[in-house]
């Protein structure tokens, strides 16, 4: 599979510093505005209603991580698969970076690639991480599209219907394009040649790096080569998205808002769609909370409930991020020990002992 050189790819994934800074500032401003809008007193009451019962939410983070790790395991070449527990630790380490560091979503992918490349060759590790990210994105789009009936039934104001339908249509088009690239690459190439006929179109497409087009072509070939693994990986990632619905319903129930599964599905899918549009905001600062505030208001709940839901989700992610940081620290210390062990020794010296006699 032709792809970006792994080391070059990891550098390019973290190169959007101005966008990250702007996203971080905007996210912080949004979070402050949400707090003012919901009201500190109402937020404090909602958080107090959850209280110590927050601990019942924590295992759901582990369930999500395990399903995503299994999805990643299926995306790894069969001959190169590593233990599921090792992938789970790498995934948690990557999620810790996504949650705590201002590097956007791609920072965690870099951590996963570097961790997996210690087990299998770097090209295979890079393909595995890229394929897992692709199936997870496909599962996210499928999750949003399948939730459309529940969203339309739960909306309390008709003004929300147009943007919801537009976002869903965009997701369907995007998912259809991905399927077409995989199933009928020759037809896509013929369409691309037609698109490039207008003046300026070919020049615009020529700006796309050759390494990026090679990567996309290789990824499509990998998807066609392993359709069963791709479908199972997508199904596992889709199950992970469904865990968020269970969490939404549980947390709202702890606050005294007994909602049906369909209403919880509407809230979670709307929040996921908003986060997907604002994916470039580092650590989802403000967007995680803002998405849930908007989703709860869209189905008739008060802003404080949505903000509390977002804060509980953020806190749960921070707890699991602490576990990921511990795994990341262990990995780094192990890498440092390996580096020290591989350093050449001075002549006449053995490691751990006195100089040899001359």
Is residue 186 in a domain? no
Give the Cα-Cα-Cα angle 236, 238, 240 (nearest 5 degrees): 75
pLDDT of residue 176: 66
Is residue 248 in a domain? yes
Q: List pLDDT tens digits, range 126-169.
A: 888 888 888 888 899 899 888 888 888 888 776 777 777 777 77
Range of the domain at 89: 6-159+227-336
Per-residue confidence band for 24, with pLDDT thresholds at 50, 70 and 90:
low
Q: How many CA atoms lie within 13 A of 355 on its CB side?
A: 5
Phi-psi region of 250 (alpha: psi -120 to 50; beta: other; left: phi over 0): alpha
Of 110-119, 183-192, 215-224, the least confident: 183-192
pLDDT of residue 251: 92
CA-CA distance, 38 to 299, in Å (whole number)? Answer: 16
Provide mean pLDDT across the span 10-30. 59
Per-residue confidence band for 32, with pLDDT thresholds at 50, 70 and 90:
confident
SS3 label, residue 355: strand
Provide mean pLDDT across the span 335-342. 52
Residue 22: pLDDT above 70? no
Is residue 267 in a domain? yes
Q: List pLDDT tens digits, range 45-89.
A: 877 888 888 888 899 999 999 999 999 999 888 888 889 999 999
Helix runs in the chain, H state only: 6-13, 17-38, 40-50, 58-75, 84-100, 106-116, 122-146, 148-154, 161-183, 185-195, 201-206, 210-225, 227-254, 261-277, 287-298, 303-341
Q: List pLDDT tens digits, range 201-238.
A: 555 555 555 555 666 666 667 677 778 888 899 999 99
Is residue 218 in a domain? no
Is residue 174 in a domain? no
Provide mean pLDDT across the span 160-183. 68
Comparing 247 with 109, the larger pLDDT belongs to: 247
Is residue 235 in a domain? yes
Is residue 109 in a domain? yes
CA-CA distance, 7 to 114, in Å (whole number)? Answer: 9
Is residue 52 in a domain? yes
| Count of structural domains within the chain | 1
Provide mean pLDDT across the span 172-196. 58
Average pLDDT, the chain: 75
């Amino acid at each position: 599979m032709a792809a970006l050189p792994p080391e070059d790819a990891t550098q390019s994934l973290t190169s959007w510093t101005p966008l990250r800074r702007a996203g971080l500032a905007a996210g912080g401003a949004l979070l402050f505005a949400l707090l003012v809008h919901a009201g500190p007193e109402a937020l404090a009451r909602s958080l107090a209603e959850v209280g110590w019962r927050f601990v019942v939410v924590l295992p759901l983070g582990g369930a999500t991580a395990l399903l995503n790790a299994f999805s990643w395991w299926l995306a790894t070449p069969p001959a190169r698969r590593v233990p599921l527990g090792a992938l789970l630790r790498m995934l948690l380490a990557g999620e810790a970076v996504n949650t705590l560091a201002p590097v956007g979503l791609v920072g965690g992918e870099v951590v996963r690639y570097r961790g997996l490349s210690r087990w299998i060759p770097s090209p295979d590790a890079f393909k595995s991480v890229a394929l897992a990210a692709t199936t997870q994105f496909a599962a996210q789009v499928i999750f949003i599209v399948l939730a459309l009936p529940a969203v339309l039934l739960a909306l309390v104001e008709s003004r929300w219907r147009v943007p919801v339908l537009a976002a869903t249509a965009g997701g369907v088009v995007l998912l259809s394009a991905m399927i077409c690239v995989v199933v009928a690459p020759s037809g896509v190439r013929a369409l691309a040649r037609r698109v490039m006929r207008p003046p300026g179109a070919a020049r615009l497409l020529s700006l796309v790096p050759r390494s990026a087009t090679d990567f996309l072509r290789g990824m499509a070939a990998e998807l066609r080569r392993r359709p069963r693994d791709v479908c199972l990986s997508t199904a596992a990632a889709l199950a992970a998205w469904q865990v968020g619905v269970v969490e939404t319903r549980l947390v709202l129930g702890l606050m005294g808002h007994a909602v049906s599964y369909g209403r919880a599905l509407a809230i979670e899918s709307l929040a996921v769609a908003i986060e997907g549009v604002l994916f470039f905001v580092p650590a989802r600062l403000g967007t995680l909370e803002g998405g849930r505030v908007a989703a709860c208001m869209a189905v008739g709940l008060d802003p404080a409930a949505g903000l509390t839901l977002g804060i509980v989700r953020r806190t749960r992610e921070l707890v699991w991020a602490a576990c990921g940081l511990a795994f990341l620290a262990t990995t780094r210390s192990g890498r440092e020990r390996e580096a020290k062990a591989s350093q050449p020794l001075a002549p006449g010296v053995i490691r751990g002992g006195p100089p040899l006699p001359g």
